[in-house]
Amino acid sequence: MRRPKSKKFKLQNRLSEVKEIELLESWIASGKPDSGSNPLSLPPPPKGAPIGRLPDGSFSPYAGSDKFSQLPLSKRTKDGLADGKYSKMTDIQRASLPHSLCGRDILGAAKTGSGKTLAFVIPVLEKLYKARWGPEDGVGCIIMSPTRELAGQLFEVLKSVGKHHGFSAGLLIGGRKDVDAEKERVNELNILVCTPGRLLQHMDETPNFECSQLQVLVLDEADRILDVGFKKELNAIISQLPKHRQTLLFSATQTKSVQDLARLSLKDPEYLSVHEESATATPNRLEQTAMVVPLDQKLDMLWSFIKAHLNSRILVFLSSCKQVRFVFETFKKLRPGIPLKCLHGRMNQERRMGIYAQFCEKRSVLFSTDVASRGLDFNKAVDWVVQVDCPEDVASYIHRVGRTARYLSGGRSILFLTPSETKMLEKLQEKKIPIRFIKANTKRVQPVSGLLAALLVKYPNLQYLAQRAFITYLRSIHKQRDKEIFEVTKLPIDEFAASLGLPMTPKVRFLKQKVKGKKVPEGSTPVPESNSDENASKLVGGSLATGRPEKAELKLDEGLATGRPEKAELELDGDFLQEKEAQHVEEATDIRVDVPATRVLKKKKLKINVHRPVGTRVVFDDEGNTLPPLAQLADTKTGSDSFYLDKEKVNQRYAELREEMRVADKVDKALDRQRRKEKRIKQKLKWKRGRDEEEGDVESEDDISASDGEATTGKRNKKAKVYFDSDSDDGERKNVQDNAVSVTSAITLAEQEELALKLLSSMHS
Ligand SMILES: Nc1ncnc2c1ncn2[C@@H]1O[C@H](COP(=O)(O)OP(=O)(O)OP(=O)(O)O)[C@@H](O)[C@H]1O
């Protein structure tokens, strides 16, 4: 047990702290770098030069130093850094720390993986230490991050480097259930690491929660937090913070917008973009490639890529949660030979954290949305970043590829671009991104669409997921701002639907509106104008079949456009294939499938798919083309080449099939019952005949046999068995008396009686 420290010891400690703080303040004041200068341009102090207070009472210069030990930092912080094996500073640390230690506002920009976290964690610790911040002083610093995972990671760095300090720190992020416990303790915390939403929740709900004494505000991934997505939350937060504070903003893609900076009331911020002069905007050890992959071949390409890199740690970016879930669920079933994981914003927080931690530890493939694109430092060991869906802009690209090649390690990335997205390549190259264009080796591509189609037949839930993936992808393209790159009408949507294994192309209203009056891309199913209203009414009919009123449908559609509430998201979290039926209805609503027009299949050579799972039924049309399941139920409308699936007809056909099966089942069971009954009667008769013969022969022995028989029967009657009567149609449990015991035991008894009687009669004679 540690002995409590004596008053004297505490006093001495306090005195030495005061002395250290005085020294640090004088040291900092003596060597402040010029405002607007970049300390990186100054030469580092020569080897072996004295550090700190010099014999003449002056201090060693710290601007330009390249080691943490040369900076005016407290012993506690230096010890924390030494424990973390941090000794040499990175460029952004060298450039920003001399300014931030003086209390200046910072706008820091540096490549991904270049150590921006320490560039703000160190000044935070130092500022509070020099202010002798204690538990009674409340919140002294807020570090904000756009995502929960990143906040968690920042919190870990803070804990590790600040472990010798006595500050209390807390991680405040959404998706955690212990918000009430948090509310009780949040007022005692000195440093808050948080996401904007959770912080605002505390500001709104927690009694007495206030940040009026705030010393430092940090925004990591500042451009993202200042983005429209967080605008409301951030404005509300800022309005509750004191204006007199130090503000540190860091990102790999920094904002320079005057408006943004005005919102944060920055005072003469130091703009430190250490890699602005660099030849590339991305890490030097990052090898970047791009290739053109038609939309309908993306999954084939991804599958082939994974199969070719089974010993790597691969991070795959897709544009929506639904796509992530679809690719994860289907690829998991196809067993590529490497563990697969998925991460997206609609998972509950514990699972998100768990998956993040697992991916850091072993080789696997992580399918993710952009929730993992910023800031995360997967143990510096992501081998490949694969961008299956094109990032929305250059900044997003930089952050995604930045999950690999961190600090001193190398990494590789590949970007799939559809033929209509190739403009992105130019934009990337314009922004100093050295990306190499390569051609796919088509010989090594392993097609997976056929397998997906078979999976969708086997697991109907996957069909819903595929439809949702299809719709959300198109919606994401539709919503993109950069129309030079993203144009939904240029996409081969039918082929895309087929590539997901969908038997028919779901129709989306926004797409229909878009296509109306526009040139329809080659190969896609045109939306017949004359039938569009009819289609719409059929949609309502189809929806009603699932018991949904039209109004609810519209509401859900709005929900889809604005994103679902978090609660509903959590419920979707379990194993997809375990989801409740009710959920399917909801999912079906979500995807807003118009009357699905069966895809007009291109004429193809008849091929035997050797990979097709045994038992999968393949239907061919008159010309030998394979038809998707249900396609034979499609009607061809006169005057149009398209097929239309009559929902009523499908339902009717299903009902007929069900009825046929029910009748056949009943007949089978009746036959089986009859067969068993006959067999039983036969056995009974046989047994009775044998007994009558014996009774006729040896009447005198009746007592004995009867008593024997009685004893046996008595015993049997006592133990009335309970068992499941499989003959019973309704399958109910029945009490069956012993005279119904199995045939085999009846024979044995008969034989035994016969034997006993024979024995007795031989004794009498
Ligand atoms: N001075 C240093 N010495 C050794 N390693 C360092 C140093 N600074 C940072 N690192 C390591 O470099 C890695 C990347 O650091 P960090 O996560 O801070 O990068 P970042 O610039 O914030 O990246 P991003 O822009 O992606 O958020 C981390 O693993 C961190 O531990």
Who has greater pLDDT, 644 or 376? 376
Identify the pLDDT of residue 42: 92
Nearest-atom index, ligand 1, CA of 153:
17
89 lines ligand 1 (CB under 6 A): yes
**Spacing, Cα 551 to ligand 1 middle (Å):** 51
Nearest CA to ligand 1 atom 1: 89
Write the pLDDT tens digit of every residue in 592-634.
333 333 333 344 444 445 454 444 455 444 444 444 545 555 5
Confidence of residue 532 (pLDDT cuts 50, 70, 90): very low
Confidence of residue 192 (pLDDT cuts 50, 70, 90): very high
Identify the pLDDT of residue 33: 95
In the chain, helix, strand, coil percent, each to 5? 50, 10, 40
Percent of the chain with pLDDT over 90: 49
275 lines ligand 1 (CB under 6 A): no
Amino acid at residue number 260? D
CA-CA distance, 624 to 630, in Å (whole number)? 16
**Spacing, Cα 301 to ligand 1 middle (Å):** 32
pLDDT of 356 over the 60 cut: yes
48: left (phi over 0), alpha (psi -120 to 50) or beta: left
Write the pLDDT tens digit of every residue in 426-484.
999 999 999 999 998 888 889 998 899 999 999 989 999 999 999 999 999 998 989 88
Write the pLDDT tens digit of every residue in 27-59.
999 999 999 999 999 999 888 889 999 998 899
Identify the pLDDT of residue 2: 56
E strands in 396-543: 411-417, 435-437
What's the average model confidence in pLDDT over 294-322? 95
624: left (phi over 0), alpha (psi -120 to 50) or beta: left
Share the mean pLDDT of the chain. Answer: 77
Q: Which of 82, 56, 80, 57 is nearest to 67 (CA)?
A: 82
Return the structure tokens found at 131: 């202010």
Identify the pLDDT of residue 760: 56
Identify the pLDDT of residue 178: 78
**Spacing, Cα 600 to ligand 1 middle (Å):** 52
The interface pTM score, or ipTM, of the predicted complex is 0.99
CA-CA distance, 561 to 224, in Å (whole number)? 21
Identify the pLDDT of residue 643: 43
Nearest-atom index, ligand 1, CA of 251:
25
Write the pLDDT tens digit of every residue in 86-136.
999 999 999 999 999 999 999 999 999 999 999 999 999 999 999 999 888
Identify the pLDDT of residue 213: 94
Who has greater pLDDT, 212 or 651? 212
**Spacing, Cα 377 to ligand 1 middle (Å):** 8
Return the structure tokens found at 761: 């009669």
Nearest-atom index, ligand 1, CA of 68:
1
635: left (phi over 0), alpha (psi -120 to 50) or beta: beta
377 lines ligand 1 (CB under 6 A): yes
Nearest CA to ligand 1 atom 14: 113
Confidence of residue 675 (pLDDT cuts 50, 70, 90): confident
**Spacing, Cα 652 to ligand 1 middle (Å):** 62
Tell me the three state secondary structure of residue 383.
coil
Write the pLDDT tens digit of every residue in 228-283.
889 999 999 999 999 999 999 999 998 877 777 888 888 889 999 988 878 899 99
Q: Which of 503, 412, 490 is nearest to 456 (CA)?
A: 503
Identify the pLDDT of residue 175: 81
Identify the pLDDT of residue 668: 83
pLDDT of 418 over the 60 cut: yes
**Spacing, Cα 407 to ligand 1 middle (Å):** 6
Identify the pLDDT of residue 12: 82
116 lines ligand 1 (CB under 6 A): yes
Nearest CA to ligand 1 atom 3: 86
Identify the pLDDT of residue 257: 79
pLDDT of 306 over the 70 cut: yes
Q: What is the DSSP code string of 228-282?
A: GGGHHHHHHHHTTS-SSSEEEEEESS----HHHHHHTT--S-EEEETTTTSS-SS
Identify the pLDDT of residue 4: 65
pLDDT of 720 over the 80 cut: no
Confidence of residue 695 (pLDDT cuts 50, 70, 90): very low
Write the pLDDT tens digit of every residue in 642-674.
444 566 666 776 677 777 778 878 888 888 888
CB 411 within 8 A of CB 385: yes
Strand (E) or helix (H) holding 694: helix 647-697
**Spacing, Cα 411 to ligand 1 middle (Å):** 15
What's the average model confidence in pLDDT over 561-583? 29
115 lines ligand 1 (CB under 6 A): yes
407 lines ligand 1 (CB under 6 A): yes
113 lines ligand 1 (CB under 6 A): yes
pLDDT of 528 over the 50 cut: no
Q: Which residues, in sequence order, are CB contacts of 49 under 8 Å at separation 6+?
A: 60
**Spacing, Cα 113 to ligand 1 middle (Å):** 5
Q: Which residues, in sequence order, are CB contacts of 677 under 8 Å at separation 6+?
A: none
CA angle 427, 431, 433 (to 5 degrees): 95
CB 126 within 8 A of CB 272: no
Identify the pLDDT of residue 511: 66
CA-CA distance, 124 to 101, in Å (whole number)? 9
Cβ neighbours of 652 (radius 10 Å): 12
What's the average model confidence in pLDDT over 78-91? 96
pLDDT of 340 over the 80 cut: yes
**Spacing, Cα 765 to ligand 1 middle (Å):** 107
Return the structure tokens found at 651: 């339902």
Which of 114, 149, 156 most suits a substitution to test ligand 1, by most atoms within 8 Å of the C-beta? Answer: 114
Identify the pLDDT of residue 596: 37
Identify the pLDDT of residue 642: 40
118 lines ligand 1 (CB under 6 A): yes
Who has greater pLDDT, 165 or 11? 165
What CA–CA distances, in Å, run from 135 to 16, 132, 404? 20, 10, 39
Return the structure tokens found at 191: 């440093």
140 lines ligand 1 (CB under 6 A): no
What's the average model confidence in pLDDT over 526-547? 31
**Spacing, Cα 630 to ligand 1 middle (Å):** 54
pLDDT of 402 over the 70 cut: yes
pLDDT of 191 over the 70 cut: yes
pLDDT of 287 over the 90 cut: yes
Nearest CA to ligand 1 atom 15: 115
Nearest CA to ligand 1 atom 30: 115
Nearest-atom index, ligand 1, CA of 117:
18
pLDDT of 540 over the 90 cut: no
CB 32 within 8 A of CB 102: yes
108 lines ligand 1 (CB under 6 A): no
Nearest CA to ligand 1 atom 8: 115
